[in-house]
Homo-oligomer: A and B are copies of this chain.
Amino acid sequence: MDVRTLCLGILTLGDASGYEIKKQFEEGPLAFFYQIGFGAIYPALKSLNRDGLVNCTEIMQHGRPNKKIYSITSEGIKIFKKYLMRTPACDKLRSESIVMFFFAHFLAKEHLDGVFEGYLDENRKAVETIKNINQNNISPECQFTNGLGLTVYNAIVHYMENNRRLLFDEKGSDQREPEMK
C-alpha cells in the first residue's frame, strides 16, 4: 500500500494538511501499522491533487508556510474503495532490535542491555500511545485495530520482562525455556 493510497484513506476521515497526516502516522490509530515521513507525504498529496483525487485549499499564515488543507474528492473515494477490494499483501516487519537479540552473542553486555531497555521502552510507549487515543466515540473498526495493537505491544512487553534471563544469564546455568502464558 503506497503513500498515495494511505493519504487517501486518512482523508476519508476528514480534511487535513500534510503535517496533520504525518501526525496521524505518529500518534493516530494507524501509527502502528504504517510509518511514513514528510518526504513521502508532500509529493504524494501533490500528485493526488494533480490527478483530481484530492482538492487543496490554501490558508494564509504569517511567519510560516501557508497551510494547505486537502479534502478527498468523490473520484478519490472511488479509487480508495477500489484499492480496498484487493487481496492484502502479507505483513512486513523489520526489526533491527530483534535481529540484535538473535545475534546477542556478538554484542558487548552494556550494549545489549541498552538495546534491550530501548526496545522495552519503545514497546511500552506504543502501549501508552494507544491507550491515549481517545476511546470515546470511536468506531468498532478502530476499537478492533486499537485493541489488536494494544494486545501485541503488551504481549511483547510482558514477554521481555519475563524472559530477560534468556539473553543475560551466564553460561552454565540450568536449562532455560521461554515462559509463555
- Chain A positions within 8 Å of B, measured between CB atoms, are 1, 6, 9, 12, 29-30, 32-35, 80-81, 84-85, 87-108, 111, 114-115, 118-119, 122, 139-148, 150-152, 154-156, 159-160, 163, 166-167, 169, 176-180
Contacts and interface: CB of A to CB of B under 8 A. Distances in A.
A13 to B, nearest CB: 9
Contacts of A101: 141, 144-145, 148
Contact of A92 (B12, B94, B107, B159): B94
Contacts of A167: 140-141, 144
Copies in the complex: 2
Given A89-B94, A148-B163, 9 more contacts: A34-B93, A84-B107, A88-B96, A88-B99, A92-B94, A143-B176, A148-B160, A151-B155, A151-B159
A99 B6 contact: yes
Contacts of A154: 180
